[in-house]
């Protein structure tokens, strides 16, 4: 463990993360309505070998076993998401009691096991009915989200303290409506921009609804942030790096934490019709004070300018570099850079790493064990960066490994395994990998300050 455990305060939060569509299954049970991911995954050619979340890892029925896994690992916190289509099958209107009852049981089960629930209200599974009405590019979707948030908080707020509004709005907006590789699979750049703004607005409208009558609630948002570097140090690619950092990081950080969109990105985007979605008065709503920022970090982007003089396109450089099974560069130093950038530009916000982890092609031994030392190295490397950031005075208060379980990795289906617990996708049997044991020991000894 190389003393890593000695580097975190006893109060540091150690947890694991999941999301509803990736693990629950039971997509047509107990009144759940269809989500955009049901529709997308059922459309030919959208996901790896046509995989869907219909069964996923059956967490909807096996949640007691999954809670017991987290308890047996001795982890103090569990980040999960609430499926909006279970609560409001049509995305609006009265709550479906059976959907609420599921999360009610889950929260009680977690608390009984001594695990703090950290729910996220939106992790990409928009009710299909709202997409049929226009989806995130429509302003009304933001208002529906705030109503939905209020329903969930009313039901669970007596027991849940830490609320996250959105997970990775960049992915929901730009992968879902721009690149079209995530649900709902639209390739409309203007719609993607409008979607990003309405996701921010949804977040901002939800914050006071979560706090209403719950003064003890802590509210945050989770963003996927990237380290971004130019392809070389000639200066030729610096503007490309600025553009990508602007669109992937600051476009999401600035409105929420500073109450404005970054001017350089607005200038880059000048003339895009999607910008019409932004009304000046929205920014006050969007920048409602928060208690924490969740950061999901996976990798770095190295970018280069277009070879054509004057062109604004940028290219992503595929470096010769160690990679995960997802093809993402393993770059723990990038997490340190992201933390230093956030610490410098948004100094007063407490930070939790709400996701970090890696897919590897895990080999299952004859005895059924998974010796995933590559994943242990990955997590250890990133945690060392977190410890360095804390030493440098950056207020990082917790780390959630992605993910508790191997699960449905969106367009990649079940082909990429991120879990610290192995799931046999035929039998759905769960087996903790070596990384789970290592992570549990790190959390235990760092909380008690024993030397492991
Ligand atoms: O599986 C996803 C998760 O849903 C959101 N953050 C990134 C993970 C790995 O791709």
Spell out the domains of the chain, with CATH numbers in brackets: 4-448 (3.20.20.80)
Q: Is the CB of 406 under 6 A from ligand 1?
A: no
- Cα torsion through 181, 183, 187, 191, rounded to 10: -140
Residue 449 CA, ligand 1 centroid: distance in Å: 31
Q: What is the pLDDT of residue 308?
A: 80
Nearest CA among 336, 382, 329, 386 for reference residue 357: 382
Residue to probe by mutation, ligand 1, list 23, 355, 404, most atoms within 8 Å of CB: 355
- Cα torsion through 220, 115, 440, 18, rounded to 10: -50
Nearest CA among 214, 55, 211, 53 for reference residue 123: 53
d(CA 275, CA 161): 35
Tell me the pTM.
Answer: 0.98
Question: pLDDT tens-digit profile of 334-346?
Answer: 999 999 999 999 9
Is 101 in contact with 156 (CB distance < 8 Å)?
A: no
* Mean pLDDT computed over 190-214: 98
Q: Is the CB of 324 under 6 A from ligand 1?
A: no
Q: Predicted confidence band at 2 (pLDDT cuts at 50, 70, 90)? A: confident
Mean pLDDT of the chain: 97
What is the separation, in whole angstroms, between the first and last Cα of the chain? 6
The alpha carbon of residue 80 and the mean position of all alpha carbons in its chain are separated, in whole angstroms, by 10
| 263 carries a ligand binding annotation | no
**Separation in Å, CA 152 to CA 67, 201, 204, 218, 224:** 20, 18, 16, 15, 24
Model confidence at 451: pLDDT above 70 = no
d(CA 187, CA 214): 40
| 298 carries a ligand binding annotation | yes
Cis amide bond preceding 358, omega within 30: no
Question: pLDDT tens-digit profile of 99-123?
Answer: 999 999 999 999 999 999 999 999 9
281 is written with which tokens? 């008065």
316, β-bridge pairs:
303
Cβ-based neighbour number of residue 64 at 10 Å: 12
118, β-bridge pairs:
79
* Mean pLDDT computed over 345-359: 98
* Mean pLDDT computed over 401-405: 99
Model confidence at 449: pLDDT above 70 = no
Q: Is the CB of 402 under 6 A from ligand 1?
A: yes
Residue 333 CA, ligand 1 centroid: distance in Å: 20
| 402 carries a ligand binding annotation | yes
Cite the active site residues.
168, 355
Nearest CA among 61, 68, 58, 161 for reference residue 110: 68
What atom of ligand 1 comes closest to residue 22's alpha carbon?
A: 4
φ, ψ for residue 292, nearest 5 deg: -160, 160
């Amino acid at each position: 463990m190389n003393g890593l455990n000695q580097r975190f305060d006893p109060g540091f939060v150690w947890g694991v993360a999941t999301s509803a569509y990736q693990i629950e299954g039971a997509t047509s049970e107990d009144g759940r309505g269809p989500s955009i991911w049901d529709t997308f995954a059922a459309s030919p050619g959208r996901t790896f070998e046509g995989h869907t979340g219909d069964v996923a890892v059956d967490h909807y029925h096996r949640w007691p076993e999954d809670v017991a896994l987290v308890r047996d690992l001795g982890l103090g916190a569990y980040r999960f998401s609430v499926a909006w289509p279970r609560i409001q099958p049509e995305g609006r209107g009265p709550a479906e009691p059976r959907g609420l009852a599921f999360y009610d049981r889950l929260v009680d089960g977690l608390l009984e096991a001594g695990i703090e629930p950290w729910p996220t209200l939106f992790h990409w599974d928009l009710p299909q009915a709202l997409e049929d009405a226009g989806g995130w590019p429509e302003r009304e979707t933001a208002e529906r989200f705030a109503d939905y948030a209020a329903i969930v908080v009313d039901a669970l707020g007596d027991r849940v303290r830490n609320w996250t509004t959105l997970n990775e709005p960049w992915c929901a907006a730009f992968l879902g409506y721009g690149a079209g590789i995530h649900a709902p699979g639209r390739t409309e750049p203007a719609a993607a921009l409008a979607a990003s703004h309405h996701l921010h607005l949804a977040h901002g409208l939800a914050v006071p609804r979560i706090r209403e009558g719950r003064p003890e609630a802590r509210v945050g948002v989770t963003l996927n942030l990237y380290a971004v570097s130019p392809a070389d140090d000639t200066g030729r690619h610096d503007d490309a790096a600025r553009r990508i950092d602007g669109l992937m990081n600051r476009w999401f950080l600035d409105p929420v934490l500073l109450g404005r969109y970054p001017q350089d990105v607005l200038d880059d985007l000048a003339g895009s019709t999607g910008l019409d979605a932004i009304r000046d008065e929205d920014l006050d709503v969007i920048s409602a004070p928060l208690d924490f920022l969740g950061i999901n970090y996976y990798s770095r982007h190295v970018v280069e300018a277009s070879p054509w003089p004057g062109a604004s396109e940028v290219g992503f450089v595929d470096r010769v570099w160690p990679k995960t099974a997802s093809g993402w560069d393993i770059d723990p130093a990038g997490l340190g850079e992201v933390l230093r950038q956030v610490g410098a530009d948004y100094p007063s916000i407490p930070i939790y790493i709400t996701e970090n982890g890696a897919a590897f092609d895990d080999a299952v031994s004859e005895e059924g064990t998974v010796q995933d030392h590559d994943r242990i190295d990955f997590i250890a490397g990133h945690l060392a960066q977190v410890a360095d950031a804390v030493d440098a005075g950056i207020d990082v208060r917790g780390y959630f490994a992605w993910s508790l379980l191997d699960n449905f990795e969106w367009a990649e289906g079940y082909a990429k395994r991120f879990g610290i617990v192995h799931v046999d996708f035929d039998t759905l049997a769960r087996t903790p990998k070596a990384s789970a044991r290592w992570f549990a020991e790190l959390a235990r000894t760092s909380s008690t300050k024993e030397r492991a």
